[in-house]
Each structure stands twice: as structure tokens, then as C-alpha cells.
Amino acid sequence: MSTKVEFKNVTKKYKMYTRQIDKIKDLFTSKESGDFHYALSDVSFSVDSGEIVGIIGLNGSGKSTMSNLISGVTMPNEGDVYVNGTASLIAISAGLNGQLTGLENIELKGLMMGLSKKQIQEITPKVIEFAEVGKFINQPVKNYSSGMRSRLGFAISINIDPDVLVIDEALSVGDPTFTQKCLDKMNEFKENGKTIFFISHSLGQVKSFCTKAIWVHYGKIKDYGDVLPVTAQYQKFLADYQKMTPEERIKFKAEQLKENNHGLLMTNDVKTKKGFFDIFKK
């Protein structure tokens, strides 16, 4: 088995601006000083082909940043992201244009993924069949229900046949029958030696069909390995966390802050400077 995706000491940080003008200043000066939020700090892992990796963690722990990095939407500030082949991201309603019809969206998205005219003609019937939107295929996408939109998005992305597929919460709006259909399709994908990243809060789905799991915790990888031990650990953590009293949670966060420089753990103690519009305030 070959390595399909590899993260080498990847850090993605966002600067926390308090004023718009600071953004402009940063274009011309060094960006090293200031208040940073480390969405991911020094993350390394590698995934072989044919794996389905579940990415789990609390809200804001860096799951979506990770999916954006894999699919090439953003670039890391430090370290390297190595992806062997093309990566495609499926997020809820990503890349669909509301003004255009379903059919036009298939062509448009195909074009943007770099497909040739012939390839687009080949996948179009498959997408229509998979998406099950019936007559709506000739209606503007803005008239779709959220389930239909997610089905179409999923159908397009999966038929484009990328080497790496990143699914960011996209199945959460589908009904169980469609979710099952997607899971079947993803298993087919897996057998073809493709790699899938599956981001979900549904531990049941993660357990039932992922082979590995990554637990992201405040921008760092807490655990990475076979799916069952990792999810068990995570579940144990969730149960413990929910049992905590508010005081204990504050203490827990303070302890975490020592280890992680994460924006969610910090309290906002920045003194707000007086802006122009404050003169209207009493």
C-alpha cells in the first residue's frame, strides 16, 4: 500500500484582527507578531490508499481546516501537505450555483474540476440517476430542498471520481436511505483503492464504515489509529466532559491552554480601542 495523503508538521494559523485597518497593515509588514489562533498546530500523519478515515472532535477543533487543507482550498502556514492525486471536497451545498439548473451545475462543476467535454457527457446520466431529483434536474438549484442539494452535490463529486474524497458533514442532511446509498458508494470507492476522509459528529456512522479515525483536539491530534479504539477513547472523553461541573470545565480549559495556543480556549481580554463610530455611542 502506498501513502496517499501525508501531513508533515502542518500548522495553520489565523491572525485575530480587532480592526479592519490591521489587515491592511499586514499586507505590507511582517505578519509574525500579533494574536494568533492556531487552527492546527504541528500536525503530522499519513494515510494509505484504500483507507476510510473518520475525523472526529469537538466543534472548532480543526476538522474543517484539515479538510480544507487536504482538498487544497487553503494552504498551510508551515509544514507540507502531500496529496497523491486529485482531491475533491463535498460539503453541504459546496460549489453549486443557485441560479443555474441541476443539469447546468453538473457541467459547470465538471468543468471546474478539469473534466473534458466527453467526460462530462459520460458522467451526466450517472449523476442524474444517483441524485434522484427527478424533474427538478431542469429547475434552478435555488428551488431545491437542502436534501436534494446535498444529494446533487454528492452525486457530482463522487462521479467525478477523485483519488481522495473529503466529506465534510455532507451526509447529515440526507435521509437514512440516501445515507445508505452514499455509504455503499463509498465502500465501492474504498475497494478501488481510493482514500476517503469522513468528517462527522455521528459516531455511529464513523464506527460502522471507517477503517481508521483521527481525533482532533484543539488543533492537535489527540489520537490516530484503528477506528474502534479511537472512537472509544473519544466517547469516554465526551462522557467525562459532560459530567463535569461548569467550574471543572473552566479548570479543564485552563489546563488545556497550557498545552495549546488555541483561540477557543482564550478569553477575550483585548482592550477595545475607540473606533470612529463610538462617538455615536453613549
Closer residue to other proteins (CB): 26 or 42: 26
Other CB atoms closer than 10 Å to residue 93's CB: what's the count? 16
Closer residue to other proteins (CB): 14 or 209: 14
Q: Does 89 contact other proteins by CB under 8 A?
A: yes
Q: Does 97 contact other proteins by CB under 8 A?
A: yes
Identify which range of 84-92, 177-185, 195-203, 231-239 contacts other proteins by CB under 8 A. 84-92
Of 19, 23, 25, 236, the one binding other proteins (CB under 8 A) is 23
Shortest separation between residue 100's beta carbon and other proteins, angstroms: 6
With CA atoms as reference, report the closest residue to 161 among 193, 138, 199. Answer: 193
Of 1, 2, 75, 258, the one binding other proteins (CB under 8 A) is 75
Other CB atoms closer than 10 Å to residue 160's CB: what's the count? 21
Closer residue to other proteins (CB): 199 or 213: 199
Give every CB contact of residue 220 below 8 A, 6+ residues apart in sequence. 40, 41, 42, 43, 259, 260
Q: Does 99 contact other proteins by CB under 8 A?
A: yes
Q: Does 24 contact other proteins by CB under 8 A?
A: yes
Q: Does 27 contact other proteins by CB under 8 A?
A: yes
What is the spatial distance between Cα 83 and Cα 135, in angstroms, rounded to a whole number?
38
The 127-166 contact track toward other proteins, x by CB under 8 A, reads -------------x--------------------------
The binding site for other proteins (CB under 8 A) comprises 14, 23-24, 27, 68, 71-75, 86-89, 91, 94-95, 97, 99-100, 104, 107-108, 111-114, 116-117, 140
